[in-house]
Amino acid sequence: MGRRPESRGKCTFCGDSVVFSSMTKHLQSCVKRQEAVGKESSAKRSKIYGLKVWAAYNPAYWLFLEAAESTKLEDLDDFLRKTWLECCGHLSAFTIQDVRYEVETGEPDFMAKTFDEEESKTMDISLGSVLSSGMVFHYEYDFGSTTDLDLKVLWEREGRLNKKGVTVLSRNEPIGFKCAACGQPAESVCTECGDEKAASYCRACAAKHECSEEMLLPVVNSPRMGVCGYVGVDV
Ligand SMILES: [Zn+2]
Ligand SMILES: [Zn+2]
Ligand SMILES: [Zn+2]
Ligand SMILES: [Zn+2]
C-alpha cells in the first residue's frame, strides 16, 4: 500500500516550502525568522510558546503557532474554531495531563454528559499556567462527530509578538483532492458516500452524482472537511 506523501507548507518568514516532519527544525534555524525575532521589542517581553498542532487521525493537516504565556486556552480554542473547525457551535475541550478544560457555547450537546465524572475546568486559564516545553496535549471539537487534534509545545522563549493571541508560523498547503470519477481537481465531498478520498468530486461529476445535493460539502483545507455542516472559511 502506497504511503501518502507528507503535506508541505510555507514558512511565513522565508517562504520556503517544507514538509511537516522538517518544519520544527526549519523554524528553529530559519535566518529570516531569527531576524524577525531579533527585531522584537525589548519592552514588555514575556514567555512565548511555540506550538505544533495536527489532526490526530490525518497529520496532512497541521499548523505551527506561537502565543504568549498570557494567552488563554479559550483564545486558542477560538483560533482553532475560526481557522479549522467551527460549523455550528459544538462543545470543545483540551485535555492536558489528565485534566479536561471545557468551553460552553450555549448549544446543548448530547454527548457532553459522558464526561461529567472526570475532573474538568474551564478554558479561562492562561497557557503559562498549564503548558511547559515538550508537553503533548489533546483537543476535541464536537463530542458527537469529533475532530481530534494533537498539540505539542515545541519551545519556550522570551520575546514580544506583534499580535495579541495566536500567531501562525506555518500551515499545510491545500491537499489537492482529485475527483473520484474523472481525476480532475475535486471541489466537493459527498458526506453520504463516506470516505473522503472515494467521495470527492469535481463540479461536473458532482452535478451527476446520485446522492442529493444537500449531502455535498466543499473541499476545504481543514481536518473537518466533510464533517457535520463544515464549509470552511474565506481566507
Ligand atoms: Zn523560513
Ligand atoms: Zn456542526
Ligand atoms: Zn470529475
Ligand atoms: Zn454520494
Residue ranges with CB less than 5 Å from ion ligand 1: 11, 13-14, 16, 30
pLDDT of 163 reads: 87
pLDDT at 115: 54
Cell of 35: 531576524
CATH numeric code, 8-172: 3.10.290.30
Q: Where are the domains of the chain?
A: 8-172, 176-229
CB 220 within 8 A of CB 206: no
User: Grid coordinates standing for 132?
Assistant: 511547559
State the ipTM, two decimals: 0.92
Q: Ligand 4 centre from 200 Cα, in Å?
A: 9
Residue 161 near residue 66, CB atoms below 8 Å? yes
Closest among 61, 36, 35 to 149, alpha carbons compared: 61
Gap from CA of 227 to ligand 2 centroid (Å): 7
Give the phi and the psi of residue 233 in degrees, each rounded to 5: -125, 155
213 CA to middle of ligand 3, Å? Answer: 15
Q: What is the pLDDT of residue 9?
A: 98
Distance 214 CA to ligand 4 centre (A): 10
Dist. CA 144–CA 114, nearest whole Å: 11
**Which residues of the chain, if any, have pLDDT below 70?**
1-4, 104-119, 195-198, 234-235
**What pLDDT shows up at residue 82?**
96
The b-or-e profile of 117-132 (16+ CB within 10 A means b, else e) is eeeeeebebebbebbe
Question: What's phi and psi for 22, nearest 5 deg?
Answer: -105, -5
Q: What is the pLDDT of residue 5?
A: 75
